[in-house]
């Protein structure tokens, strides 16, 4: 099961109360309404999990109940169809998802993923159509530059930033493990935070346990021509021993934060900051892709940062 924790960190689960509240009050195109309901009102449904694991519940229209199951720090979502008198799992534990609401009859979640190793992805959307019953569709989530995000894991290998490549609406960061690393468990994302400095109009990406390779020159301002949103960028390298500058972002709950309330272990890690001078205030999203060569003994990881 996917666990909401990071190695060497103290995590705090921020829970919500179970009182009645409207989650999505306005009627959508199909007259959709979502109502938070007391878990005590959900009974005798023959659920596929113990009653004591029912954490939250919502009524969606007149036909469906959305039920959140919790096992320790794990959660999953089930949809109960009143017409069929049956519940099925629509979002599993490994997604680390939260319910957002209903749009045009479809149930929307924001998720973080992680598999089994706490390697959280940049937040993404999961869209479930209760009418079709098909598996939830994964979609990129674009967040405004004013919304900070933390993702990845402090348990990743020590890596080198070897590539920064600009495209029309994208920026690609390439990472490779430093020599001497024991390459076990797959190529995890480095712990990453993203903040925005409105005064400087800079989006700031901070990569932990990462150092520049010989292909990357810190301290140099690089002008960018032909990019729709980035005017220039600058890379700065920091040795271990630096205090994280954004502990409040790290301490936020999923999906935007990582529940890291004790940042002491991060002080010893080398890190890199990338300052992106923006034209305007676009929304942004990141997709991470790992590539393996030489029978899996060599790997690279790429963050594809997209704007719109």
CA of residue 286 relative to chain centroid, distance: 9
Q: Is the peptide bond before 255 cis (omega within 30 degrees of 0)?
A: yes
Cα–Cα distance measured from residue 250 to residue 261, given in angstroms and rounded to the nearest whole number: 7
Q: What does the domain layout of the chain look like in residue ranges?
A: 22-141, 149-307
Q: What is the pTM of this model?
A: 0.85
Q: How far apart are CA 238 and CA 216, in angstroms?
A: 14
Identify the residue with better confidence: 116 or 140. Answer: 140
The predicted pLDDT at position 18 comes to 29
Average pLDDT, the chain: 87
- C-beta of residue 156 within 8 angstroms of C-beta of residue 138: no
Rounded to whole angstroms, how far apart are CA atoms 223 and 113?
35
Helix, strand, coil abundance in the chain, percent, nearest 5: 5, 45, 45
Instruction: Reduce the DSSP state of residue 173 to 3 states and report it.
Output: strand
* Cβ neighbours, 10 Å, residue 132: 8
Distance of CA 116 to the CA centre of its chain: 15
Torsions phi, psi for 13 (to 5 deg): -85, 120
Can you give the pLDDT at residue 186? Answer: 83
Check residue 189 and give its pLDDT: 96
Rounded to whole angstroms, the Cα distance separating 66 from 109 reads 12
What is the rounded CA–CA span in Å between residue 204 and residue 302? 17
pLDDT of residue 8: 32
Across the range 152-160, mean pLDDT stands at: 92
Q: Is the pLDDT of residue 11 over 80?
A: no
- pLDDT for 115 equals 66
pLDDT in tens, 193-239: 999 999 999 999 999 999 999 999 999 999 999 999 999 999 999 98
- Lowest pLDDT segment from 116-130, 154-168, 172-186, 281-295: 172-186
Q: For 69-113, how does the pLDDT look when each residue is reduced to its tens digit (9 = 90+)?
A: 999 889 999 999 999 999 999 999 999 999 999 999 999 999 999
Q: What is the pLDDT of residue 76?
A: 97
Q: For residues 126 and 51, is the Cβ–Cβ distance under 8 A?
A: no
The label of the residue with tokens 């009974």 reads 43
What is the C-alpha radius of gyration for the chain, rounded to an integer number of angstroms?
A: 21
Helices marked H in the chain — which ranges? 247-251
Q: Residue 7 has what pLDDT? A: 33
CB atoms within 10 A of CB 17: 8
Is residue 248's pLDDT more than 50? yes
When pLDDT is cut at 50, 70 and 90, the band that residue 243 belongs to is confident
CA 130 to chain CA centroid, nearest Å: 24
Across 234-254, average pLDDT: 89
CA pair distance 53, 220, nearest whole angstrom:
54
The pLDDT value given to residue 2: 42
- Rounded to an integer, the average pLDDT of 154-181 is 93
pLDDT band at 16 (very low <50, low <70, confident <90, very high): very low
What is the reported pLDDT for 174?
Answer: 97
Q: What are phi and psi of 282, to 5 degrees?
A: -75, 175
Q: How far apart are CA 30 and CA 287, in angstroms?
A: 32
Residue 29 has pLDDT above 50, yes or no: no
**Tens of pLDDT, residues 251-302:** 998 899 999 999 988 989 999 999 999 999 999 999 999 998 876 678 999 9
For the segment 30-47, what is each residue's pLDDT rounded down to a tens digit? 345 899 999 998 888 889
Q: Which position has the token pair 């920026």?
A: 171
pLDDT band at 65 (very low <50, low <70, confident <90, very high): very high
């Amino acid at each position: 099961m996917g666990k909401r924790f990071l190695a060497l960190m103290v995590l705090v689960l921020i829970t919500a109360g179970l009182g009645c509240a409207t989650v999505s009050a306005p009627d959508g195109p199909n007259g959709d309404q979502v109502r938070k309901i007391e878990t005590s009102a959900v009974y005798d449904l023959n659920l596929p999990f113990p009653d004591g694991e029912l954490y939250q519940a919502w009524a969606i229209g007149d036909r469906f109940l959305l039920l959140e199951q919790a096992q320790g720090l794990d959660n999953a979502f089930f949809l109960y169809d009143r017409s069929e008198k049956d519940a099925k799992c629509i979002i599993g534990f490994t997604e680390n998802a939260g319910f957002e609401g209903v749009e045009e009859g479809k149930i929307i979640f924001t998720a973080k993923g992680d598999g089994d190793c706490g390697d959280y992805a940049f937040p993404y959307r999961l869209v479930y159509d209760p009418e079709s019953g098909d598996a939830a569709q994964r979609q990129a989530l674009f967040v405004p530059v004013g919304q900070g995000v933390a993702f990845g894991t402090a348990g990743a290998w020590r890596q080198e930033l070897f590539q920064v490549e600009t495209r029309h609406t994208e920026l690609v960061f390439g990472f490779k493990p430093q020599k001497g690393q024991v390459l076990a468990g797959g190529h995890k994302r480095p712990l990453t935070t993203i903040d925005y400095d409105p005064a400087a109009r800079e989006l700031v990406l901070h990569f932990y346990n990462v150092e520049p390779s010989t292909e990357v020159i810190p301290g140099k301002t690089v002008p960018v021509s032909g990019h729709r949103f980035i005017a220039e960028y600058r890379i700065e390298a920091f040795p271990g021993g630096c205090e994280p500058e954004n502990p409040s972002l790290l301490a936020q709950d999923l999906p935007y934060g990582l529940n890291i309330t004790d940042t002491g272990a991060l002080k010893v890690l080398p890190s890199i900051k990338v300052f992106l001078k923006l034209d305007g205030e676009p929304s942004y999203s990141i997709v991470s892709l790992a590539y393996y060569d030489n029978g899996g003994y060599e790997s690279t990881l790429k963050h594809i940062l997209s704007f719109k």
